[in-house]
Amino acid sequence: MIAIIDYDIGNIAAVANMLLRLGVRCTITAQPEEVEHAERIILPGNGSFDACMQNLRASGLIPVLERKVLEQGTPLLGICVGAQMLGSESAEGTERGLGWLDMRVRRFPEIPNLRVPHMGWNQVRPSSVSHRLTRNMEAEARFYFVHSYYMEPADPDDILLLAHYGIDFAAGVSRGNISGVQFHPEKSHRFGKQLLASFVKGD
């Protein structure tokens, strides 16, 4: 069973609907006991970094998430702000992130004719790292983005996917059982469906 973490943010139902289209059993939950029994975990995110971190702390789910992810090695996929929260801090606010990855979140630089937020479809390419999420990715894979801030891992080996918008930036990160994608796979049609299928299947 896959647990989609419900901490009072938007776009959760769209993730569940995509998993249901894959025939995958999932639950949208704010209950620690359901998270405890999950085989895989998805941490969505929508809105501002600070609001998401505040809501997640208020949910009381961080201790069970840390136990599952950091101690038991349960695979976790962060989506959009849910991916950014895996790092230590964001230029968008003052809240501390989860700190599960050595990573900071930066705002896109001011570049002439570059509109921020980065919104819409963009091509994504895997880094040189072989990973379960990218093994079946199409060469011209495109995903849907909505963001003004991007992830910057301290270790380049943690960069899983790259995209370009004025600058090259990490569209996906991963270390061990922890992964995150800046885009919205649930809004990315067949490309997103394939990525979620790869996450579900695992190694």
Active site residues: 80, 184, 186
8: left (phi over 0), alpha (psi -120 to 50) or beta: left
For the chain, the helix, strand and coil percentages under 3-state DSSP, each to the nearest 5? 30, 30, 40
The span from the CA of 140 to the CA of 159, in Å, is 19
**Cα separation of 185 and 42, whole Å?**
12
Radius of gyration of the chain (CA): 16
Cα–Cα distance between 197 and 72 in angstroms, integer?
A: 22
For the record, the structure tokens of 107 come out as 């705002």
